[in-house]
Structure 1
Amino acid sequence: MSTSRSEKLARLVRVQRQVERMAEYELSLTLSAQAETDATQEALVHAVGSFNPIHTAMSHQYAQRFQRLSARSQLLTGAIKVQEGKVLTEKTKADRLADHAAEAAEAEDRLNADESLFDLLDSTIKSGGFS
């Protein structure tokens, strides 16, 4: 079972595209967590700013929660930057592999065309076509 170089590269391209999609999915999860954290922080700010006596009594707990959310937001921001870099890296790898696969397929096509021309020339010579 011999597979050509272009087939092997095409399989690698499919695998690399899957890795790229996985990295994009991880990034989307982190972005949604960041959005949820931002929404919770905004709700806490509105609660602290309201004149409701229940919120006034809970202001200390709200401040602590806001600090934890701020720390989480900073961590998520760093993770987003790392994951964006990973997505870009994986996409670049996949694009390069796709280019190499296309070049290998072209080379194999040229080789097959050359071999068919040589076969045609050989059969023409053997049949006495060039007398």
Structure 2
Amino acid sequence: MAGSRADKLARLVRVQRQIERMTESELSLTLRAQVVTEETQAALVDAVGSFDPVHAAMSHQYALRFQRLSARAQQLTGVRAMQERRMLTEKTKADRLADQAAEAAEDEDRIAEDEALLDLIEASLGARASSY
């Protein structure tokens, strides 16, 4: 594991971005479930408001189902809020790691340039000393 600090940070950035994508995926699944729940609730409201005798006979069952869907919608709202916060946290972590990786790469480039310049100066001084 003799990688440079910039390489290690870049690898961490890739891992953190993957975690960010996973949280986005979880959020999208929650949003889809929320949409399905809302559509089902709307369909139940339409069925209860219908004058069809079949729906009138099932109104009690519809009310129970609507109650469960309301609880599910409330639960999904809480899950969604939590996942949005988590996604924001993961994105912030990834952005900070990316900044640190960029700074580390700049530092390593600067150190390499400094060493190359020192080698050039030493070579120049060595050539000058040998000519005397």
Shorter-chain TM-score bucket reads: over 0.9
Output the TM-score relative to the length of structure 2.
0.96
Matched, 1:40 2:46: no
State the Cα RMSD in Å.
1.3
Counterparts of 1:44 and 1:55 in 2: how far apart (Å)?
A: 10
In the other structure, the counterpart of 2:12 is: 12
Q: Which SS does the other structure have where 1:20 is aligned?
A: helix
CA distance in 1, matches of 2:50, 2:3: 69
What is the number of equivalent residue pairs in this alignment? 131
Query: Could you tell me which residue of structure 2 aligns to residue 109 of structure 1?
Result: 109
1:91 aligned counterpart, secondary structure: helix
| CA distances 1:11-31 after superposition (whole Å, capped 9, x unpaired) | 000000000000000000000
Alpha-carbon distance, 1:34 to partner: 0.4
Question: Distance in 2 between the 1:122 and 1:39 partners?
Answer: 76
Q: How does 1:1-131 map to 2 (within 5 A)?
A: 2-128=2-128
Structure 1 gap ranges (5+) = none
Task: Give secondary structure in 1 for the equivalent of 2:128.
Answer: coil
List structure 1 runs of 4+ shifted beyond 3 angstroms. none
| Shift, 1:2, TM fit | 1.5
Query: Equivalents in 2 of 1:128, 1:111: separation in Å?
Result: 25
Percent of residue pairs identical: 66
TM-score (norm 1): 0.97
| Aligned counterparts of 1:101 and 1:118: Cα–Cα separation in 2 | 25
